[in-house]
Structures are given as C-alpha cells and as structure tokens.
Amino acid sequence: MDEMPLQLDLPGFRFHPTEEELLDFYLKNMVFGRKMRLDVIGYLNIYRHDPSELPGLSKVGEREWYFFVPRDRKHGNGGRPNRTTQNGFWKATGSDRKIVSLSDPKRMIGFRKTLVFYKGRAPRGSKTDWVMNEYRLPEYSSPLPKDIVLCKIYRKATSLKVLEQRAAMEEEMKTIHASPSSSSLDTMSFCSQPEDPVPPELPTQHLVFKKEIEDDIIRYEKPREIKGPSLQLPMGTDKLPELQVPSKLSMEWNQDPIWSLNSPWLQNLIPYADILNF
C-alpha cells in the first residue's frame, strides 16, 4: 500500500530551497515518479491562470510560489512551449542559464529560463512586475519520462525611487481633483478683465473746443497724431469767446495742417469762405 503524501501545515515553516535542491531533488523525483512524503510543491498548469491568482493556489510560499508545470508544446514534442494565458503571455528574457552542482561544479544539473508576464497579445503588450524562473532537467541521450518543469513565481521588487515617484504623482492628482473651484475662480477673474481699458477723461478745453466747432457747423476732428495748441480760457470768464472765422483765407489761417491738405473738397470750399463768417 502506497503511503499518502503528508500535508505540510507547520507554524513558522519557511520554504527557501536552493536551485540545486529544486533541480536535483524536487524536480528529479517528480519527473522519474519517485514519491515524496511531504507534498510541498503542487502540480498546476499555471498558464490557465493570471499571475495574481497563483499565490492563492500555491501550497507554500509568502513571496515566492512554486509549481510543477506540464509543458504544453505548440507543434508536437519538438515545438516551442505554449506560454500564453487568457489575458496575456509569458515572454522569455535572454538565453537559458546552466545550473551546476555546488559540490561538483563540473556536473551540470539543469537549466534556468527567466520569463516576464505581459498583458495583451504578442508582439504587443504591457509589461508587468510578475517574473517566473522555469527550471528544467537536461536531456541527454533519451527523453525524460515526463515533460515537466518546476516554476518559481514572484513579483519583481520595486525600487524606493519608483515608489516615491508614484506617491508624488498620486498626491498631485488628488490635489488637482480636490480643488476645482479655485482653478475656476482664477479663470473667471482672468477672463473678467476688460479687453479695452476706459480712456482717461479728456481735458476741459478739448471738450469745449469741440462743442464750439459743432455750433459753428464746422465739424471736423483733428487726427490723433497731430497735436495742436490747446484752447485756454481767459481768467475770470465764464463763457467762451465767439469763434471768429476769417473772412478771407490768409496765409496764417492756412497754416492749420488740416487745411493744408490738397483735397478737391477743400478747393470747392474756398469760394464760400465769406459765407462762413457770419
């Protein structure tokens, strides 16, 4: 009668085997069908699950989880193993590394392949921090009885600098979303500024001068770039003197830059200069 493997439930027990122990003891016994009294590593097709589900399916482990995994090849026994899952795929990084015995460095006991899990479908996908070390026995002259590998699953350690950057970004996003009213007030105050400022109040003499011209029916405005002498009120007077228009066009009257313009309209107005003097 075969002995049933014992279930491991020991408080304080930690499972941290070396690579030589994984290959030369656990995997070799599993491949050649040797029974082990302690059922420490379970048998599971990990490619049917996402990496986040594997820690709960492992028999032991806190930061590292171990499984015996069957190799599902794409095209028969000589094809590449199929490492795709429902939501992603495991991608190999670099070439296989040879593992030798510590007691006898000339004896090779197996290979180790490192893979990283990507979400999505190849050749595109987003890289995650899930890593797998796949251990397999060497094939010499004859194939192995069972095409099984031993996989160690763990999450890649995140550096302190990356963690600080993530925390700073999260705090910045919280600050932006927590104060939308302040930003809207700043925008409103900025947009509420008038585009054209109110012009300053003109001096009194300029306003009166314009009124007198309108009363005498001579309605023209001096260009802004031309600055003429301003009209000054005599001291102690409440009324402006009447505007006197010369009866004849003299040289002094024609010195005004407005009348010095050679315009057909001004040429027609010269014969009626006497009528303007009323």
How far is CA 130 from each of CA 155, 253, 260, rounded to the nearest angstrom? 5, 96, 90
Task: Write out the residue range of the structural domain in which residue 210 sits.
Answer: 204-232+241-276
Token couple for 118: 């990507």
What's the Cα-to-Cα distance from 80 to each of 91, 144, 177, 184, rounded to whole Å? 12, 17, 49, 59
Please state, as a whole number, how many other Cβ atoms lie within 10 Å of the Cβ of residue 181: 8
Q: Cα–Cα distance between 24 and 36 in angstroms, integer?
A: 14
| CA 148 – CA 70 distance, rounded (Å) | 5
Query: Is 27 a member of any domain?
Result: yes
Query: End of a domain among 125, 157, 189?
Result: 157
Identify whether residues 136 and 41 lie together within a single domain: yes
Rounded to 5 degrees, φ, ψ at 34 are: -90, 135
If asked whether residues 52 and 148 sit together in one domain, one would say: yes
- The answer to whether residue 15 is domain-embedded is yes
Q: Are residues 106 and 208 in the same domain?
A: no
Same domain, 208 and 153: no
Cβ within 8 Å of residue 152, ≥6 positions away: 22, 64, 65, 66, 132, 133, 135
Residue 228 lies in a domain: yes
Confirm if 48 and 66 have CB atoms less than 8 A apart.
no
Query: Do 64 and 130 lie in a common domain?
Result: yes
Pair (218, 123) in one structural domain: no
- On whether residue 179 sits in a domain, the answer given is no
Q: How many Cβ atoms from other residues are within 10 Å of residue 209's Cβ?
A: 16
Q: How many domains would you assign to the chain?
A: 2
Decide if 267 is inside a domain.
yes
Q: Are residues 151 and 210 in the same domain?
A: no
Please indicate, yes or no, if residue 186 is contained in any of the structural domains: no
Counting every residue, how long is the chain?
278
Does 147 share its domain with 82?
yes
Domain boundary among 140, 157, 174: 157
Which among 141, 157, 173 is the end of a domain?
157
> Does one domain contain both 127 and 263?
no
Per 3-state DSSP, the chain is made up of helix, strand and coil in percentages (nearest 5) of 30, 20, 50
Q: Report how far apart, in Å, the C-alpha atoms of 16 and of each of 33, 65, 147, 202, 261 are.
A: 23, 10, 24, 92, 104
In a domain, 172, yes or no: no
67 and 133 belong to one structural domain: yes
Q: What is the pTM of this model?
A: 0.55
**One domain for residues 148 and 38:** yes
Per-residue pLDDT of the chain (278 residues; tens, 9 = 90+): 455 555 556 677 778 899 999 999 999 999 999 888 778 899 999 999 999 999 999 988 888 999 999 987 665 545 678 899 999 999 999 899 999 999 999 999 999 999 999 999 988 899 999 999 999 999 877 788 889 999 999 998 776 777 778 788 888 888 887 765 544 445 444 444 555 555 555 454 444 444 444 455 555 455 555 555 555 655 655 555 565 555 554 445 445 555 455 556 556 666 655 555 54
Spell out the long-range contacts of 61-64 with Cβ–Cβ below 8 A and sequence spacing 24 or more. 61/15, 62/14, 63/154, 63/155, 64/16, 64/152, 64/153, 64/154
Q: Is residue 1 part of a domain?
A: no
Residues 114 and 212 in one domain: no
Residue 140: give its domain's CATH number.
2.170.150.80
Burial letters 101-128, b for 16+ CB under 10 A, else e: eeeeeeeebbbbbebbbbeeeeeebeeb
- Asked whether the beta carbons of 114 and 156 are under 8 A apart, the reply is no
